Amino acid sequence: MSEETLLDADDRMDKAVQAYSNTLDTVRTGRANTALVEHLHVTHYGQSMPLNQLATLAAPDAQLITVQPWDRGTFDSIMKAIQTSDLGINPSSDGHVIRLPIPPLNEARRKELVKQVHGKAEEARVALRNIRRSAIDELRKGMRAGEIPEDEERRSAEEIDQLTQQHNEKVDQITRAKERELMDV
């Protein structure tokens, strides 16, 4: 039982770190990245759909994202969704392709984005701590039920602590990399 608990905790922690990394892809840097807009929800024909299911997204250069709708009827809905989003990007179009120029970030906006990244990092650490707590609770229940001995429960709890520490270090590495990317002028 303790091995199952350890493997489950490790798997869930890996997924939490991956989710954190994916979340950071949506934080705008000075460079164009299609991850900024691909999950933007567009309401069309009464349904809300992610932008990447309605159009081809590309970043032809470092300061531009292009959106080419597959269906001409979705063009206006996509434009409206981009304009009403909190991205702070003003789209332009030629009737076939929507262009999203990514303006360079000023120093104050960079610092604000770094604060956002640190907030998201803390959320990831909280998720890791919650996984740790649930795994240790599961071990204690197994010990009380007589399924695992007390010394094995203690050893497994130490291993879970080590796993938590390793995953926290991964979160810190990802955070530092994103911070360097944001502050790079």
Residue of 157, 123, 108 lying closest to 20 (CA atoms): 123
* pLDDT tens per residue, range 60-108: 887 888 888 888 888 888 888 888 877 777 888 887 888 888 877 778 8
* pLDDT tens per residue, range 85-96: 777 778 888 878
Distance CA 86, CA 71 (A): 25
Q: What is the mean pLDDT of the chain?
A: 85
Note the CATH architecture for domain 34-101: 2-Layer Sandwich (3.30)
**Mean pLDDT, residues 13-22:** 91
Which pLDDT band, with edges at 50, 70 and 90, does 28 fall under? Answer: low
Distance CA 56, CA 39 (A): 13
- pLDDT given at position 121: 93
- Start-end of CATH 1.10.132.20 domains in the chain: 2-26+106-183
- Start-end of CATH 3.30.1360.40 domains in the chain: 34-101
The CATH code for residues 2-26+106-183 is: 1.10.132.20
